[in-house]
Amino acid sequence: MKKSLFSLSLLLATASAVADNPCVQTCYTTDPAPMVHDGRLYVYTGHDEDNASFFEMFEWRVYSTVDMVNWTDHGSPLSLEDFSWADDRAWAPQCIERNGKFYLYVPVYSKLTGAMAIGVAVSDSPTGPFKDAIGKPLVDGNWAYIDPTVFIDDDGQAYLYWGNPDIYLVKLNEDMISYSGKVEKLKQTPESFGTPLNNSDSKSSYTEGPWYYKRNGIYYLVYAAGGIPEHIAYSTSDAPTGPWTYRGIIMPSIGWLNSFTNHPGIVDFMGNSYFFYHSGNLPGGGGFDRSICVEQFDYNTDGTIPSITPTKTGPNPIASLNPYGRVEAETMAWSEGVGTSQNDAVGVYVDKVHDGDYIKVSNVDFSDEGAVSFGACVAGKLKGNQIKVFLDSKKGELVAKADVPPTKDADTWEYFETPTLKEITGVHDVYFVFSGGIKNKALFNFDYWTFKTSESSVEINNANSSYIVVYNLMGVKIFETDDKAKISSLPKGIYIINGRKVLI
């Protein structure tokens, strides 16, 4: 996201410092499509371009979480450039796994017919990269061919629905890249998709963005409805192809969502149910610059879905974050000012770091072990920059102050460590606040971070050997000596002395 996106951040500082909806703040993200795989929840999104005046979208993005509060940016796994036959409108995606492969269904503008079509891309990983699976559209039809949703039933039959304002259906073959039979257009009636709320010329309440799934024997179609502005409604069936019965509104059209469209995605994860949607509630956002959000909810006992109210805080965490391994800097609960980029060397990393920008990471569990050092991997040639680490708020307790070493250039990465100002224990929200002497200029890039405990805080005079070998935590030998007094010349920090980690 360009720095200009946050030009209103000072006006919204009080709200945005505590808000965790929208889920992603580094760019505009749309049309969320959640998928659970191997204990992680992935969400695939579109990407609205900054300052757009239409649905200007050229790539898809993917994010993941294990705790529902901290989201890791995996970058763009697929773009329009990956489809030789398409050149515009990278709109709402959905991904599904089958037999170890991941299939991403996307609507794009087809150069072959001059209208919208559904493409399919495949990958060995949920985070891509994805490649065009067949070199042509899966279905190529008309301007209504948008917003695909895919589901594999218990008997192995896969179904693809899509459409605006009509809704279409086709049965996919087991290879997931071809289909059998004809494309069907569903008949829309008040009984199946509801009567219009605000458009008397509409045949039904259904508009676009279907989300299709099955739960406890009930088939669900959740969709944007009612024309403009859209609300979210749903229908259910006892069979995968209907007939459908209209069930009501899930999320009304609410003005403060600041978007005339909406797009649903529903998934169960770690025993909880989650509803995804989008809003225009980032600074600079609106109907063409949208951002994904999520709420936790409970189904009614009869399987119906309750009314869901959008919030600025989103769901509660379902797990804590371990700070003692490598944590990607692009894993965050909230941020202001920063963006993300990706390259072949390090993958996704945080960029556009300016003076006063920050990243919040939620529910970090330092446990009783206690962190005594903070380390980070950075790149950037400017001098005089710092990462300050605060607990529980942007102006909370300062527990680390790290001077960021300049590197050769923005592509040369260096890991550094610094002692914390105190031993850190317990569970906290952690804020990384960035500072530098050059205003309105990107300071450095940030790849990952970690905290470390002191495995052995020992008296040097009680060392087991009279001969001492000292390394830093990067494994570089500092010196070796038989004079223990030389240890006192070391700056405060953590060292490897005779194979033991020692806090000086």
Contact between residue 287 and residue 259 where contact means Cβ atoms under 8 Å apart: yes
- Provide the pLDDT for residue 1: 41
Beta partners for 470? 479, 497
Given a cut of 60, whether residue 370 has pLDDT beyond it is yes
- Provide the pLDDT for residue 483: 76
* Residue 193, H or E segment: helix 190-193
Q: Which residues contact 99 (CB under 8 A, 6 or more apart)?
A: none
- Provide the pLDDT for residue 473: 61
Given a cut of 90, whether residue 294 has pLDDT beyond it is yes
- Domain 327-452, CATH: 2.60.120.260
The conformational region for residue 7 under phi > 0 = left, psi -120 to 50 = alpha, else beta, is: alpha
Half-sphere exposure of 411 (CA within 13 A, CB side): 4
Contact between residue 121 and residue 130 where contact means Cβ atoms under 8 Å apart: yes
Of the candidates 104, 160, 108, the one whose C-alpha atom is nearest the C-alpha of residue 127 is 104
Q: Looking at 87-91, 127-131, 484-488, which range is the least confident one?
A: 484-488
Contact between residue 149 and residue 219 where contact means Cβ atoms under 8 Å apart: no
Q: How far apart are CA 192 and CA 169, in angstroms?
A: 15
Band (pLDDT 50/70/90 cuts) for residue 2 is very low
CB atoms within 10 A of CB 183: 14
- Provide the pLDDT for residue 335: 97
Contact between residue 448 and residue 376 where contact means Cβ atoms under 8 Å apart: yes
Residue type, 217: G
- Provide the pLDDT for residue 8: 32
Contact between residue 196 and residue 153 where contact means Cβ atoms under 8 Å apart: no
Q: Looking at 115-124, 139-148, 474-483, which range is the least confident one?
A: 474-483
Q: How far apart are CA 2 and CA 338, in angstroms?
A: 9
- CATH superfamily of the domain spanning 3-297: Glycosyl hydrolase domain; family 43 (2.115.10.20)
Q: Looking at 190-199, 282-291, 340-349, 459-468, which range is the least confident one?
A: 459-468
- Quick one: DSSP state of residue 143? T
* Residue 385, H or E segment: strand 385-391
- Provide the pLDDT for residue 390: 98
- Provide the pLDDT for residue 468: 76
Buried b (16+ CB within 10 A) or exposed e, 385-402: bbbbbbbeebeeeebbeb
Question: Could you tell me which residue, 52 or 463, shows the higher pLDDT?
Answer: 52
Cis preceding linkage at 210, omega within 30: no
What does the H/E/C string look like for 88-133? ECCCCCEEEEECCEEEEEEEEEECCCCEEEEEEEEECCCCCCCEEC
Given a cut of 50, whether residue 4 has pLDDT beyond it is no
Hunting for tokens 């009636």 — which residue is that? 189
| Distance (Å) of CA 155 to CA 159, 303, 389 | 12, 22, 52
Share above pLDDT 90 across residues of the chain, in percent, rounded to a whole number:
79
CB atoms within 10 A of CB 281: 22
Q: How far apart are CA 249 and CA 222, in angstroms?
A: 9
Q: What is the pLDDT of residues 249-269, one digit of tens each?
A: 999 998 989 999 999 999 999
Contact between residue 372 and residue 454 where contact means Cβ atoms under 8 Å apart: yes
Q: How far apart are CA 447 and CA 433, in angstroms?
A: 15
Per the structure block, which two tokens stand in for 156?
């192995």
Mean pLDDT over 285-306 rounds to: 98
Q: What is the pLDDT of residues 476-493, one digit of tens each?
A: 778 878 777 777 778 767
Q: What is the pLDDT of residues 31-77, one digit of tens each?
A: 999 999 999 999 999 999 999 999 999 999 999 999 999 999 999 99
Given a cut of 60, whether residue 170 has pLDDT beyond it is yes
Q: What is the pLDDT of residues 381-440, one digit of tens each?
A: 999 999 999 999 999 999 999 999 999 998 999 999 999 999 999 999 999 999 998 888
The span from the first CA to the last CA of the chain, in angstroms, equals 42
Among 11-25, 146-160, 453-467, which range has the highest average pLDDT? 146-160
Given a cut of 90, whether residue 298 has pLDDT beyond it is yes
What is the average pLDDT score of the chain?
90
- Provide the pLDDT for residue 264: 98
- Provide the pLDDT for residue 159: 98
Domain parsing of the chain, residue ranges = 3-297, 327-452, 460-503
Band (pLDDT 50/70/90 cuts) for residue 475 is low
Contact between residue 33 and residue 94 where contact means Cβ atoms under 8 Å apart: yes
| Distance (Å) of CA 268 to CA 171, 237, 273, 411 | 24, 19, 4, 40
Of the candidates 118, 84, 123, 86, the one whose C-alpha atom is nearest the C-alpha of residue 102 is 123
Contact between residue 407 and residue 381 where contact means Cβ atoms under 8 Å apart: yes
Question: Could you tell me which residue, 15 or 113, shows the higher pLDDT?
Answer: 113
Cis preceding linkage at 229, omega within 30: yes
Mean pLDDT over 270-296 rounds to: 97
| Distance (Å) of CA 306 to CA 52, 142, 253, 299 | 34, 35, 15, 7
List, in sequence order, every beta strand (DSSP E) within 111-215. 115-123, 131-132, 139-140, 149-152, 158-162, 168-172, 179-185, 206-215
Per the structure block, which two tokens stand in for 192?
């199946």
- Provide the pLDDT for residue 197: 65
Q: Which residues contact 485 (CB under 8 A, 6 or more apart)?
A: none
Q: How far apart are CA 492 and CA 74, in angstroms?
A: 36
Given a cut of 90, whether residue 474 has pLDDT beyond it is no
Of the candidates 133, 141, 147, 139, the one whose C-alpha atom is nearest the C-alpha of residue 115 is 141
Cα-Cα-Cα-Cα dihedral of 366, 369, 372, 374, to 10°? Answer: -40
Contact between residue 314 and residue 69 where contact means Cβ atoms under 8 Å apart: yes
Band (pLDDT 50/70/90 cuts) for residue 9 is very low
